[in-house]
């Protein structure tokens, strides 16, 4: 839950995922007077991205549903007693999906000490999560984003009586806060597409 919370808040979960850190350090290469990310540096994350891409989304979704009460309790224990774990999960996934990718050379400029900054001001203004994904390279970022896009949400009031249907507005509010679109929410898809999705997952 700490990793999910970090991602939703735009904080790199590097500290929590230290055991997955690549053995080799970040590499840059100089071409003429300019410095770029060495493509070999991206390869450090190939195994991690491949593992993420291999996750069975259907099985993972079923596991999350089974463990939802425990996940909710764990999230509350982090100091968010009035927040819903589904909202933070949606925000985390949306941050991954919305992160920029760059095909081709990525120019750098020297920073303090052994650090480098992105020469492109738009990239340098990105948050820690987005910058980490940029350092993973387009191939690996796209694999992670594809898996994140595969997770769909359903907006519902979690009601146990017809009178609770009006509480649906709270679910809609949570979805908007996470910047979800109608393409991310299964019960806002056209009927034919929703049925096709259910048939696909049931096969």
List pLDDT tens digits, range 39-63: 999 999 999 899 988 888 767 777 8
- Residue position matching structure tokens 């034919």: 192
Q: What is the pLDDT of residue 44?
A: 93
Q: How far is CA 82 from the centre of its chain?
A: 23
Strand partners, 69: none
pLDDT at 29 over 60: yes
Average pLDDT score over residue span 105-121? 90
Q: How far apart are the first and last CA of the chain?
A: 30
Q: Which of 153, 159, 151, 189 is nearest to 174 (CA)?
A: 153
pLDDT (tens digit, 9 = 90+) per residue, 132-178? 999 999 999 999 988 887 765 555 555 556 666 666 666 666 556 54
Q: What is the pLDDT of residue 157?
A: 57
What pTM value is reported for the model? 0.70
pLDDT at 197 over 90: no
Compare 157 and 76 and report the one with higher pLDDT: 76
Residue 42 CB partners (closer than 8 Å, separation 6+): 135, 136, 137, 138, 139, 140
Q: What is the pLDDT of residue 201?
A: 54
Q: In what order do the strands lie in the sheet with 107-110?
A: 28-31, 34-37, 107-110, 116-118
Average pLDDT score over residue span 75-98? 84
Q: What is the pLDDT of residue 186?
A: 64
């Amino acid at each position: 839950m700490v990793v999910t919370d970090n991602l939703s808040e735009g904080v790199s979960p590097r500290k929590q995922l230290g055991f997955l850190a690549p053995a080799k350090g970040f590499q840059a290469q100089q071409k003429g007077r300019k410095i770029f990310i060495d493509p070999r540096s991206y390869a450090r994350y190939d195994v991690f991205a491949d593992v993420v891409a291999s996750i069975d989304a259907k099985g993972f979704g079923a596991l999350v549903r089974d463990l939802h009460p425990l996940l909710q309790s764990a999230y509350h224990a982090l100091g968010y007693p009035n927040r819903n774990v589904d909202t933070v999960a949606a925000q985390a996934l949306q941050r991954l999906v919305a992160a920029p990718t760059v095909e081709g050379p990525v120019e750098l400029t020297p920073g303090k000490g052994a650090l480098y900054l992105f020469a492109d001001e738009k990239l340098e203004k990105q948050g820690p999560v987005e910058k980490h994904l940029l350092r993973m390279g387009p191939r690996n970022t796209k694999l992670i984003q594809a898996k994140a896009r595969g997770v769909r949400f359903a907006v519902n009031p979690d009601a146990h009586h017809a009178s609770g249907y009006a509480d649906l507005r709270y679910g809609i509010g949570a979805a908007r806060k996470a910047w979800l679109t109608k393409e991310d929410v299964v019960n806002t898809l056209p009927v034919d597409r929703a049925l096709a999705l259910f048939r696909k997952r049931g096969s």
